[in-house]
Structure 1
Amino acid sequence: MSGVENGSAAAAGHIVMFPWLAFGHISPFAQLTRMLVSVDGGFFRVTFLTAAGNVPRVAAMLAEAASSVTVVPLDLPHVSCLPAGASSTAELSADGAELLKIAVDATRPQVAALLAELRPDAVVFDFAMPWVCDVATPLGVKALFFNVYSAATFAFIFVPARCPGGLLPSVHDIAAAPVGFPSDSALATIPAYQAADLSYAFQRFYGMPNVYDRFLACFKGSAGVVMKTCTEMEGPYINYLSAQIGKPLLLAGPVVPEPPQGELEERWSSWLSSFPNNAVVFASFGSETFLSVAAATELLLGLEATNRPFLVVLNFPKGADTESEFRARIPPGLEERVKGRGVLHTGWVQQQQILRHPSVGCYVNHSGFSSVVEGLIAGCRLVLLPMKTDQYINAAVFARELHIGVEVARRSEDGWFGRDDVRDAVAAAMAPGGEGEGMKWREFFLDDAVQKGFAAEFLRELKGLLRATGPNNYN
């Protein structure tokens, strides 16, 4: 075994973390890791598994917990047509991400050998590798499935009731919630374009199990399911999941992102500071959500129509001709018309620091859970523009049930939105009362006692689950 850091020998418990190779999954696993090693006097130490190419970035994410965490590289076996050296979905097309699952499945002998050597108390694994249960259980290692999506997403798509009799649902079936789903949910039905997008979960690629089958195998084979949510936010969905799954649900709380480190770069600080407080609209869609030419064009024209200053970040898949793709999304004459008040950028930015700048008042985002929380705790009004899969579910829960943010209006049959829809959503979010219940939820996320309470309760339930067959130090 080769590691980046040595775990603390004083820790009483040992957990192995094994996330799917997408940073939207690795990040919550890293957040959970930091929680585990920081509570109860460092009771747990963690071994974190990832592809060799991700080790430097993962080690940086876990740097503050390095004394209690060992990052172990896995060598991904060669898979035909998978680019050499690929180690995360950020580097791949949609088809490449399916091939990456084949490579991860092929790490089974490595993972089995590591678990046999380490004999941890538990292994926390992701949806793509349900076979971890088959490897861990004979060794007496508890296998815990970590669902990184919202409880609402899990409940709407991945429960047994979604496929009665084992029959795969049609797009029409997917548009309606499964049997027994909370009746007063904003997700009782979803638009046709969202149902069509979610049908991906039931499609097979390269003869492998589909995503739905992998989810089902995960909670059938696991000793329990971990979720980064709480009953205050998703109580009805959690109750429904408990009835559907019949396994212990361990709630880690919403896992609020840590405050950003370092100062905002001068180029952004100087530009933002030239505007009044709460004047600027910031639009960003994460590292793995990419807007089409049509969507980006309407977004930009809509932001122009707000007559507000704005900063937009547009990113593209690795390997794309970034300059060409970027230019294709800028409407003719836009840059000249918004000169001085509109900035278009591609590439990484200090998102949390930008959101916390006093001049930023509105955040247009894709409804990723972490992005919404980052915007809320920064004090921004939110405009939700989901582009795929679980983002649609999140937006419905945030805007229509928790009253956090304003959704951009869209055409139900194909999801089309226009510049006027973007303009109107920003106007609604920035109007008096446009924050909805955002302030209440901001205080909830920033309440240190509440967050520590979630961590303590999660640790208590985790120890209780491990105590069932674990060593005496869980007594």
Structure 2
Amino acid sequence: MNNAGEKMLHIVMYPWFAMGHLTAFLHTSNKLAAKGHRVSILIPTKTQSKLNSFNLHPALISFIPLDVPPVDGLPSDAETTADVPFPLHTHLMTAMDRTEATIETILLDLKPDLIFFDFTHWIPALARRLGIKSIHYCTISPASIAYTMSPERDRGLKLNLEYPPPGFPPSAVKLRSYEVPAIASFEKNEFGSGVSFHDRMMASLTNCDVMAFKACKEMEGPFCDYLERQFRKPVLLSGPVIPETPTSTLDEKWDKWLSGFKKGSVVYCAFGSQSNLNKHQFLELVLALERTGLPFLAALKPPTGYNSVEEVLPEEFIDRVKGRGIVEGGWVQQQLILSHPSIGCFVTHCGSGSTTEALVQDCHIVLLPEFGDQIVNARLMAGDLKVGVEVERRDEDGWFTKESICNAVKLVMDENSEVANEVRLNHAKWKEFLLQDNLESFYNDEFITKLQDLLE
């Protein structure tokens, strides 16, 4: 709990309506509540049931349910990115923008000290009017923001994304030519209420009182220093925020199935709730998992344009992998699955939450990023930290094949591979670092002290 004389904080959190963001904000809330601070999390009404078991301090962490405002083109029952295909995410962002008046009413009632946000770029102005400090709490890694969103790069977006911006720290992080058009297009495309993703992020970063990251300086310190210089404001680190074990247990269905295989033999593949695989990419991926000859569990959203994974999978595929392979189209308890002894390899899209969860487990890591910050995360993991293997792609268009995915999985699972031994040793080193006694507590205490200093 808190030390005598410390100011107890009341923090409101308003994360992007995606499960990876909601859970990341909740994990951080648990760390703050463990020190006696009060947190109110704004969350879509029906989504709360998925997160209740992750709330480890219900006396201090309150969920404030929000009805998602109607938006033309957005299904009436949609609450998070898991409920809609990627092209409709912009409508979900528009819905969040339409909550501004509701959020103002809530803030006037709660009178918090601070508000944490990520994509709702209007929060800083609203908070300033109400005398509340705004914290842009970024679930995207400091390296990703430093590479793609620095003011140096923002000057008309004239700098080629293929190259790091001026002053960028020495690193293996670099985009490949085929990745540049997709990222540039995504940044310029509308992301809610007629605002591009790029402009929304730059407004958030520029107008907030403080930038904060779920990161630690031992892994990404140079990128944090770069951002402080670029944006001329403090960058606070909450530490790696390793998720604590939820109060729930793994569903009996998955526990029983996974327990039918020997230790470290199952390949788990998941691409998060914002996945945008097309049918051809989806099929290459699942066929690659079959090709490994290993048991596998793939948690994948249906590809763009389809309502279920079953309607995409060839009928003979289901028969061929029966008993050793499952493709699941719904939400699964990833943290609990990754900690199951049978999991030996994690094929990940490299979302920030997934990479942290992977680093504190023993499973080998295969990196297959889709877009945006995931690409930077993959370069950081494979190049700077050397804790995983990135799937090879064609130079001309970035296409991955079932052979390239299968090869990456087999490479990390091969006990005699020189590459596998290197990533295993590095993974073990960083796991030991992340799980060492007092690391989380040190970062949490320092983070809270700097938040308290903002109010003086």
1:137 to 128, 132, 141: 128
Structure 2: state its 5+ residue gaps.
Answer: 1-5, 416-420
Residue 174 of structure 1: aligned partner: 161
Q: Larger radius of gyration, structure 1 or 2?
A: 1
Residue 22 of structure 1: aligned partner: 18
Residue 5 of structure 1: aligned partner: none
Alignment of 1:446 with 2:442, yes or no, is no
Q: Shift of the alpha carbon at 1:265?
A: 4.3
Task: Say if 1:344 and 1:80 are closer, same or farther in 2 by CA, change over 3 A.
Answer: closer
Answer whether contact 1:382 1:435 (CA < 8 A) is retained: no
Answer whether contact 1:53 1:85 (CA < 8 A) is retained: no
Residue 81 of structure 1: aligned partner: 73
Task: Say if 1:305 and 1:456 are closer, same or farther in 2 by CA, change over 3 A.
Answer: same
2:310 to 326, 334, 338: 326
Q: Partner amino acid for 2:340?
A: H
Residue 35 of structure 1: aligned partner: 31
- What do residues 288-347 of structure 1 show as CA deviations (whole Å, max 9, x unaligned)? 32533222322233233323232323322799431xx434234x6434444443333332
Residue 65 of structure 1: aligned partner: 57
Residue 142 of structure 2: aligned partner: 151
Task: Say if 1:301 and 1:90 are closer, same or farther in 2 by CA, change over 3 A.
Answer: closer
Task: Say if 1:53 and 1:281 are closer, same or farther in 2 by CA, change over 3 A.
Answer: closer
Task: Say if 1:237 and 1:456 are closer, same or farther in 2 by CA, change over 3 A.
Answer: same
- What do residues 72-128 of structure 1 show as CA deviations (whole Å, max 9, x unaligned)? 23344433333324322222233432122222222222222222333221111222x
Q: TM-score, normalised by structure 1?
A: 0.86
Q: Partner amino acid for 2:161?
A: I
Aligned-partner Cα distance in 1 for 2:250–2:443:
31
Q: TM-score, normalised by structure 2?
A: 0.89
**Secondary structure of 1:46 counterpart:** strand
Residue 257 of structure 1: aligned partner: 243
Q: Shift of the alpha carbon at 1:438?
A: 0.4
Residue 285 of structure 1: aligned partner: 271
Residue 112 of structure 1: aligned partner: 104
| RMSD, aligned CA | 2.6
Alignment of 1:361 with 2:352, yes or no, is no
Task: Say if 1:299 and 1:102 are closer, same or farther in 2 by CA, change over 3 A.
Answer: closer
| Larger RCO: 1 or 2 (CA < 8 Å, sep 6+) | 2
2:41 to 48, 59, 64: 48
Aligned-partner Cα distance in 2 for 1:389–1:175:
13
**Secondary structure of 1:395 counterpart:** helix
- What do residues 164-209 of structure 1 show as CA deviations (whole Å, max 9, x unaligned)? 2xx2448xx2222222212x22124433235423431122367622
Aligned-partner Cα distance in 2 for 1:70–1:251:
23
Answer whether contact 2:267 2:345 (CA < 8 A) is retained: yes
Residue 4 of structure 1: aligned partner: none
Residue pairs, 1:193-212, within 5 angstroms: 193-204=179-190, 208-212=194-198
Aligned-partner Cα distance in 2 for 1:73–1:240:
37
Query: Taking every aligned residue pair, what percent have the same amino acid on both sides?
Result: 37
Task: Say if 1:465 and 1:361 are closer, same or farther in 2 by CA, change over 3 A.
Answer: same
Aligned-partner Cα distance in 2 for 1:65–1:234:
29
Range that drifts further, 296-305 or 243-252: 296-305
Q: Shift of the alpha carbon at 1:391?
A: 1.2
Task: Say if 1:88 and 1:263 are closer, same or farther in 2 by CA, change over 3 A.
Answer: closer
Task: Say if 1:30 and 1:266 are closer, same or farther in 2 by CA, change over 3 A.
Answer: closer
Structure 1: state its 5+ residue gaps.
Answer: 1-9, 468-475
Q: Partner amino acid for 1:309?
A: P
**Secondary structure of 1:187 counterpart:** coil
Answer whether contact 2:269 2:348 (CA < 8 A) is retained: yes
